[in-house]
Structure formats: C-alpha cells, structure tokens
Amino acid sequence: MVDNGILIAAIVIILLMFLSLFRVIGGPTVLDRILGGNMIGTKTTAVLLLIGVLYEDLGMFVDIAIAYALLNFIATLGATKFFLRKRNSAEILEAVLDEKAILLDGESSKEESS
C-alpha cells in the first residue's frame, strides 16, 4: 500500500514539475524564471528521495539529495547576486529584462533618456 502511494506521489510531483516549467519558459521577467527553477529544484530533492525508496537503495540517494539541495540553494543565491551586482548598468538591464517598459520604474527610464 505504501509503495503504491510513494509511486503515485512521485508521478504527481513530476507532473507538477512540468506545470511549473511553464513559468520557467514563459515568465515575463528573468526573476520569474529563477523562481520557477528554484521550485523545480526543491521538488527534485523530494523526488530523489522517493526514487531511492522505490529502488530500495535509499542510502545512496540520500547523499545525492543532500548534494542537490545544496547546489539548488547556491545556484539561486548566485543568480540573484549577479542581478544585484549589475544593477547600475542600464545596458545590462536592457539585455537581461525581457519587457523593459513594464519592469523599470521612472528613475531608470529618466537615466536612459538623459
């Protein structure tokens, strides 16, 4: 009974990962994409443990899940630090943000016009 429940849970979590992939593909800003990637990484940590139970080799998959959780956290922090560091350059903002007119507030557009 519990094995079937774990299998169903793993399948449903993988379907939810595909659903949150929509936000990664079509998110209006880059930060939406980072957020979707973070959510997919958290779900992957849970799915790795479920796969470990299904393959009856949990001792190996626990280590993989620990490494994946650490990597996911560090990747998110690194990506956000990148956007914090480059905040003053309008050209990089222009390259990075998809829809500039919606995202930037009045201050930065004034800088561009002057």
Partner 1 sequence: MNILIICLLFAGLFFFAVGVIGILRLPDFYSRLHAAGKADSIAAVLVIFAIALYNLQDFSLGNILVSIKILFIAVFIYIASPTATHAITKAALVIGVTPWVKGEGKR
Instruction: Report the alpha-carbon distance of residue 32 to residue 48 in Å, rounded.
Output: 24
Looking at residues 73 to 112 of the shown chain, list those that interact with partner 1 (rule: CB under 8 A). Answer: 73, 76-77, 80-81, 83-84, 87, 93, 97, 102-105, 107-108
Which amino acid appears at position 76 of this protein?
T
List the Cα angle 32/34/37 in 5-degree steps.
Answer: 110
Looking at residues 12 to 31 of the shown chain, list those that interact with partner 1 (rule: CB under 8 A). Answer: 12-13, 16, 19-20, 22-23, 28-29, 31
Token pair for residue 77? 């922090």
42, 53, 65, 43: which is closest to 6 by C-alpha?
Answer: 53
Token pair for residue 26? 């079509």
> Would you tell me which residues interact with partner 1 (CB under 8 A)?
1-2, 5-6, 9, 12-13, 16, 19-20, 22-23, 28-29, 31-32, 34-36, 38-39, 42-43, 45-46, 49-50, 52-53, 58-59, 62-63, 65-66, 69-70, 73, 76-77, 80-81, 83-84, 87, 93, 97, 102-105, 107-108
